[in-house]
A and B are shown apart, each in its own frame.
Chain A
Amino acid sequence: MRILTITKRIFVEMFRDKRTLALMFIAPLFILSLMYFLFQSNTNTVADIGTNNVSSSLIKAIDNKHITIHKMSANASAKQTIRDKDYAGFIKKTNGKLIVTYQNADQNKMAIIKKSVQMALIKTQIKQLAAATKKSKAGLMKMQAQLQQIKKQLPSTISGRIPAPSTPKNMQKPSSLKLSQHYLYGKSNSSFFTTMLPVFLGFMVFFFVFLISGISLLNERNSRTLDRLLATPVKRSEIIYGYLTGYGAVAIIQTAIIVLFCIYVLGIEILGNIAIVLLICFALAMVALSMGLFVSTFAASEFQMVQFIPIVVIHKFSSQV
């Protein structure tokens, strides 16, 4: 069982090399945690905006828990206010036009303001519409009353033939539209991170397996031990299978650690079968492994191996994302 002999040797070598060990099992967790905190922040962002000459009804419509509104004096200019007070936006009404100026330093805040203003405009429009229908309803009632009077004045013979105008009972009440949102995957507090997690997960596994397996085969070649192996009865295929088995097993462990870390430490929900997640990551790791071993034949040093990353890894994931 020469394949297992090689696999065992790879395990021992890796276990002795604490740096590789850390790179394989701790670095991915570290990076994932950093990303988690980086992309998680947008759920509780609050944007400050200044307003000038905006009607209080609109302000009320704009206001929500992600926005703090500051009323400014009538002569406050958008640029000056944003610069001085570091507000995320400024809303001003002139000649019936609503002018919104964004600081645009934080995309999250910009999006919040944009969304809030649009929502507010829709809300006020609906209100106006409702008011208009109310008015027309009142007009209709009045007409009905007049009709009734005319009817009374007519001779009774005719009046019997004229159908009594039915009161518009089913006249539509302007109902206020209630928005109710449902999420198929994740929850309302899903952040950018949770939606991107599967990609990150795959990326981590691919990246580290690619790098470390490639470098280890490269070292074997540079230290001449690969040449030495070819002076023994071992087949070339047995060397490659030994590597595949060794790093395949490492990849399984790595994937398991990353997935469990995401579920239990970062509290991310994974719908469906975790076994399938592991399986997909494992398949990815095998691809990374083959790529790493293949590319290592073209690289003369570890540094060149790193130079291959843009070609192999980025390309692979640009198509996935």
Chain B
Amino acid sequence: MDAVVTVTHVDKSFNKKRILHDVNLTASGHEILGLIGPSGAGKTTIIKNIMGMEQPDDGKVTIFGKEMPNRQVLQRIGFMAQDDALYESLTGRENLKFFAQLFGVKKDQLNERIEYTAGVVNLNQDLDKRVSNYSGGMKRRLSLAISLIQDPDLLVLDEPTVGIDPELRRQIWDELRKYAKDGKSIIITTHVMEDAAECDELLMIRDGHIITHGSPDSLEKKYQVDNLEQVFLKAGKSNENTDNN
């Protein structure tokens, strides 16, 4: 499979504090890559380095064969930030329209795209309410809809399932699975193990280190446990041991 995103030897420090230690990853088409780790592990920092919103101190990020940051490449990426960056005084529809226009969505497709993406996150009924009246979950859903607006080839989603009820979560995962089947590449971050089970590939992250990676099944086999939480704990321990050695 051809690599869509490659991150090689990325280091990043903030205020002289090392946040990322030699991060390497590859995301390919047709698959969902999950970055899993507790809060503060450095997931968002990895995502920002991938998007070119932060520059790595060392190492490089390549997407669709081009080194980041690159504005043309951003056209093909659907991004959902961890904090809902929405225009509160605008309605959901106006937010979607604004981003659609920034991505150059054609006029005749505009309404169709807005209705479709809103449908994916069950937001059609609330599109004409102002975002300031949305609940936290509704804002998450609108952010997700915005990330889909230009029908991107790569989806980068930072904690997309936070505050979303189980039924809708199922629906969103089914939708993401469909995109992967269509050949799109998807990177998501999460700190919930249930989400991790849905991914094709997992990267487990702790304190800025990638402690292990592989498919959920292969990881459970490798560490001889029956759930991913145990994998995380075991992998974390063995990582500590190798660190100490």
Nearest Cβ on chain A to B83's Cβ, whole angstroms: 5
Q: Which of A16, A228, A234, A235 contacts B81 (CB 8 A)?
A: A228
Point out the residues of chain A lying under 8 angstroms from B173, CB to CB: none
Cα–Cα, bound, A232→B51 (Å)? 10
- Determine whether the beta carbon of A231 is less than 8 Å from that of B83: no
Q: What 1/0 mask marks residues of chain B from 100 to 132 whose CB sits below 8 Å from any chain A CB?
A: 011110000000000000000000000000100
Q: Which of A9, A229, A232 contacts B90 (CB 8 A)?
A: A9
- Determine whether the beta carbon of A5 is less than 8 Å from that of B102: yes
Of the listed stretches A219-227, A260-268, A309-317, name the one at the interface; the rest are far from the partner chain: A219-227
Q: Which of B71, B85, B102 contacts A223 (CB 8 A)?
A: B85
**A140 contacts the other chain (Cβ, under 8 Å)?**
no
Of the listed stretches B59-67, B72-80, B192-200, name the one at the interface; the rest are far from the partner chain: B72-80
Nearest Cβ on chain A to B177's Cβ, whole angstroms: 24
**B240 contacts the other chain (Cβ, under 8 Å)?**
no
Cα–Cα, bound, A9→B75 (Å)? 20
B94's nearest neighbour on chain A, judged by CB, is: A12
Point out the residues of chain B lying under 8 angstroms from A13, CB to CB: 87, 89-90
Near B by CB (< 8 A), chain A positions 73-102 give none
Cα–Cα, bound, A234→B100 (Å)? 12
- Determine whether the beta carbon of B71 is less than 8 Å from that of A231: no
**A230 contacts the other chain (Cβ, under 8 Å)?**
yes
- Determine whether the beta carbon of A224 is less than 8 Å from that of B83: yes
- Determine whether the beta carbon of B89 is less than 8 Å from that of A16: yes
Cα–Cα, bound, A227→B44 (Å)? 13
**B211 contacts the other chain (Cβ, under 8 Å)?**
no
Q: What 1/0 mask marks residues of chain A from 58 to 71 whose CB sits below 8 Å from any chain B CB?
A: 00000000000000
- Determine whether the beta carbon of A229 is less than 8 Å from that of B102: yes
Cα–Cα, bound, A227→B72 (Å)? 17
Point out the residues of chain B lying under 8 angstroms from A106, CB to CB: none
Q: Which of B83, B86, B94, B102 contacts A2 (CB 8 A)?
A: B102
**B53 contacts the other chain (Cβ, under 8 Å)?**
yes
- Determine whether the beta carbon of B90 is less than 8 Å from that of A12: yes
- Determine whether the beta carbon of A232 is less than 8 Å from that of B99: yes
A4's nearest neighbour on chain B, judged by CB, is: B101
- Known contacts: A5-B98, A225-B85, A225-B87. The answer to whether A233 contacts B72 by CB under 8 A is yes
Cα–Cα, bound, A16→B53 (Å)? 30
**B174 contacts the other chain (Cβ, under 8 Å)?**
no
- Determine whether the beta carbon of A235 is less than 8 Å from that of B71: yes
A1's nearest neighbour on chain B, judged by CB, is: B101
Interface size class of B (residues with CB under 8 A): 20 to 34
- Determine whether the beta carbon of A231 is less than 8 Å from that of B102: no
A9's nearest neighbour on chain B, judged by CB, is: B98
Point out the residues of chain A lying under 8 angstroms from B103, CB to CB: 232-233
B70's nearest neighbour on chain A, judged by CB, is: A233
Nearest Cβ on chain A to B34's Cβ, whole angstroms: 20
- Determine whether the beta carbon of B53 is less than 8 Å from that of A231: yes
- Determine whether the beta carbon of A234 is less than 8 Å from that of B90: no
Cα–Cα, bound, A12→B93 (Å)? 13
Nearest Cβ on chain A to B97's Cβ, whole angstroms: 9
Point out the residues of chain B lying under 8 angstroms from A234, CB to CB: 102
Point out the residues of chain A lying under 8 angstroms from B53, CB to CB: 227, 230-231
Nearest Cβ on chain B to A104's Cβ, whole angstroms: 53
Point out the residues of chain B lying under 8 angstroms from A16, CB to CB: 89-90, 130
**B175 contacts the other chain (Cβ, under 8 Å)?**
no
A234's nearest neighbour on chain B, judged by CB, is: B102
Point out the residues of chain B lying under 8 angstroms from A232, CB to CB: 74, 79, 99, 102-103
Near B by CB (< 8 A), chain A positions 1-44 give 2, 5, 9, 12-13, 16-17
- Known contacts: A230-B53, A232-B99. The answer to whether A225 contacts B86 by CB under 8 A is yes
Point out the residues of chain A lying under 8 angstroms from B98, CB to CB: 5, 9
Cα–Cα, bound, A223→B79 (Å)? 16
Point out the residues of chain A lying under 8 angstroms from B99, CB to CB: 232
Point out the residues of chain B lying under 8 angstroms from A229, CB to CB: 102
**B22 contacts the other chain (Cβ, under 8 Å)?**
no
- Determine whether the beta carbon of B79 is less than 8 Å from that of A9: no
**B88 contacts the other chain (Cβ, under 8 Å)?**
yes
Cα–Cα, bound, A306→B104 (Å)? 37
11 sampled A-B residue pairs with Cβ under 8 A: A5-B101, A13-B90, A16-B89, A224-B85, A225-B86, A227-B53, A228-B81, A230-B53, A233-B72, A233-B75, A233-B103
In the complex, given contacts A9-B98, A231-B81, what are 18 additional A-B residue pairs having Cβ atoms less than 8 angstroms apart?
A2-B101, A5-B101, A5-B102, A9-B90, A16-B89, A16-B130, A17-B89, A223-B85, A224-B81, A225-B85, A227-B81, A228-B81, A228-B85, A229-B102, A231-B51, A231-B79, A233-B74, A233-B103
